[in-house]
Structure 1
Amino acid sequence: MTIMKIGSITGTAIVLASAVALSGCGGNGDSDAKDSPAAASSTSTGNGVEALTGQEILDKARAALKDAKSYHVAGSMVEEGDKTTIDLKIAGEDVVGHVTTKDGKIELLAVGQQRFFRPDPAFWTAQGAEGKTVAKAIGDRWVKVDPSDTSSADMFSITNIEDALKNEGTVAKGETKQVDGKKAIALTDSADGKDGGVLYVATEGEPYPLRLDGPTAADGSLAFTEYGETFADLKVPAAADVVDLKDLGK
């Protein structure tokens, strides 16, 4: 059995194909009795998910996230000792924000069919001499990429976070608690009996994911907020602040 993970986010930097990875959690399962509708409690003011099985709650949370007009996800996770921090505002397939790895920070921007990225100096330095050459040509401008360029697909597929909330083991319900002022139920996922993280899903209003915690505090956490908000910084940059990727080799 493969280790179940709730949460796996991968992006790829286009120039020099530098990988950006963020993984969430496997987890310990609970007993079948605990995960059954009969063992769950629900409230008349809730959205009813507490009466569902763990798998049903996860399915509803994934569907709610996919259907959300917009949301903000931010935090960090550690995988194999490497920390990745993300801060992204997502509206459908549009995104604005940044991903930071040990190599540096990469800003991402997708508006409509237009896609851009902007690495910081530390990222280019980590790519060696070729990276420094590219950085000199770009300066602090955004790099525009062709949406049909398959090399950029992984980087911008980071907006498909709902696809990352999948289980590889049995999803079980845990405790209910307040998460950023909202009532939520914990979900864990069992695979190979290894400790994993916890996904908290709102039990009032829409069953949105509210927080994804790693197995320990040192493993990091992701918070999901600002559902339905309009993000003013989700806009195409001025032409003077953009260089087209296809022009860099000329």
Structure 2
Amino acid sequence: MIPISQGRTRRATLAGAVCALLVAGTALTGCSEDPNEGTNGVGRLPADQIQSKAQKAAASVGTVRLHGTVETSGRAYTLDMRLKEQGGIGSVTAQGQTFRLLRVGQELFLKADAAFWGKGSGGGESDSKAADKLAAKYVKVPKDDPSYTKFIGFTDKNVLLSGLLTLHGELSTDGHHEQGGVRTVRVTGDDGAGGTLDVSLEGTPYPLRLVRAGEAGTLTFSAWGADFPLEKPSKDDTLDYGKQLPAS
């Protein structure tokens, strides 16, 4: 007959071994472990409250970097932008052309090569000269130009994030994950069809990764609260083309 104390010890050892096998074999945390232990605690909340806390965290800090793809109005854009309350700076790629955007206050500047401005597209010598003039300069975008309305949203932190950080449909949680070495909890809309949002479990519950509904792009967020310089380009590096930019 095995003494009671030895039996308890053997059962405890066996339970620990089973738990270790489950964790190692399936990457699950469980058994006696709390996956939210040592975190900011948002993983214990209902999905709608996690989304709300992520939205409030994003709104509460002045700066962020976002990188990834966005599809809007039938066109795909690849963004790498740093944003703050006063403006933003970064690069945008669309239809194989990459250009830089810079906004300071309400002034928007666009910088691109001659090909972006239409050189080599068969527009004639005058168009080619105009493209050369615009190339490699920060061109001030007139407020009446359609490009101003189209692109200024990519440089506006509040407008951009308020439109992005809302999932569609019924919200639920989809376990614990990792983004850039940071533990996250994932929230989904309609089991992923309405988008997914990874929220940091470490420190402030910032959003770290967003997959938009309808395969409309994936964005990652980083450098929350990290300041960066933002100023208008020098006069030598700026060109004011007038009331409307040439077609490109």
Compute the TM-score of the two structures, normalised by the length of structure 2: 0.68
1:175 correspondence with 2:171: no
C-alpha deviation, 1:43, in angstroms: 3.4
- C-alpha spacing 1:144/1:54, structure 2 compared with 1 (3 Å): same
C-alpha deviation, 1:203, in angstroms: 1.8
Determine which of 197, 203, 206 is the counterpart of 1:205. 203
Indicate conservation of the 8 Å contact 2:63/2:224, yes or no.
yes
1:91 correspondence with 2:84: yes
- C-alpha spacing 1:168/1:214, structure 2 compared with 1 (3 Å): closer
Distance 1:248 1:150 in 2: 5
SS of residue matched to 2:189 = strand
1:230 correspondence with 2:227: yes
Indicate conservation of the 8 Å contact 1:42/1:48, yes or no.
no
- C-alpha spacing 1:133/1:52, structure 2 compared with 1 (3 Å): farther
Matches within 5 A, 1:47-66: 47-66=40-59
Indicate conservation of the 8 Å contact 2:111/2:135, yes or no.
no
Opposite residue 105 of structure 2, the aligned amino acid is G
C-alpha deviation, 1:200, in angstroms: 0.6
SS of residue matched to 2:242 = helix
C-alpha deviation, 1:225, in angstroms: 0.9
1:246 correspondence with 2:242: yes
Indicate conservation of the 8 Å contact 1:46/1:205, yes or no.
yes
Distance 2:56 2:119 in 1: 38
Question: Which runs of 5 or more residues in structure 2 are unaligned?
Answer: 1-33
Distance 1:99 1:132 in 2: 23
- C-alpha spacing 1:243/1:80, structure 2 compared with 1 (3 Å): closer
Number of corresponding residues: 204
Indicate conservation of the 8 Å contact 1:111/1:236, yes or no.
yes
SS of residue matched to 1:125 = coil
C-alpha deviation, 1:107, in angstroms: 0.8
C-alpha deviation, 1:51, in angstroms: 2.5
SS of residue matched to 1:175 = strand
Compute the TM-score of the two structures, normalised by the length of structure 1: 0.68
Distance 2:44 2:161 in 1: 22
Opposite residue 136 of structure 1, the aligned amino acid is D
Indicate conservation of the 8 Å contact 1:171/1:188, yes or no.
yes
Percentage of matched positions with identical amino acids: 27
C-alpha deviation, 1:196, in angstroms: 5.7
Which residue pairs with 2:18 in the alignment?
Answer: none
Distance 1:53 1:204 in 2: 17
Distance 2:161 2:90 in 1: 18
Distance 1:86 1:126 in 2: 24
Which residue pairs with 1:14 in the alignment?
Answer: none
Indicate conservation of the 8 Å contact 2:66/2:82, yes or no.
yes
Matches within 5 A, 1:108-127: 108-125=101-118
Determine which of 48, 58, 76 is the counterpart of 2:69. 76
The C-alpha deviation readout for 1:171-223, integer Å capped at 9, x for no partner, is: 22111122112111111112xx87464321112211111112468xx986422
- C-alpha spacing 1:102/1:179, structure 2 compared with 1 (3 Å): same
- C-alpha spacing 1:105/1:247, structure 2 compared with 1 (3 Å): same
C-alpha deviation, 1:170, in angstroms: 1.4
The structure with the largest strand share of the pair is 1
SS of residue matched to 1:64 = helix
Q: Could you say what the CA RMSD is over the residues aligned between the two structures, in angstroms?
A: 3.4
Distance 1:144 1:49 in 2: 44
Opposite residue 157 of structure 1, the aligned amino acid is G
- C-alpha spacing 1:222/1:135, structure 2 compared with 1 (3 Å): same
1:139 correspondence with 2:135: yes
Opposite residue 134 of structure 2, the aligned amino acid is I
Opposite residue 220 of structure 2, the aligned amino acid is A
C-alpha deviation, 1:111, in angstroms: 1.8
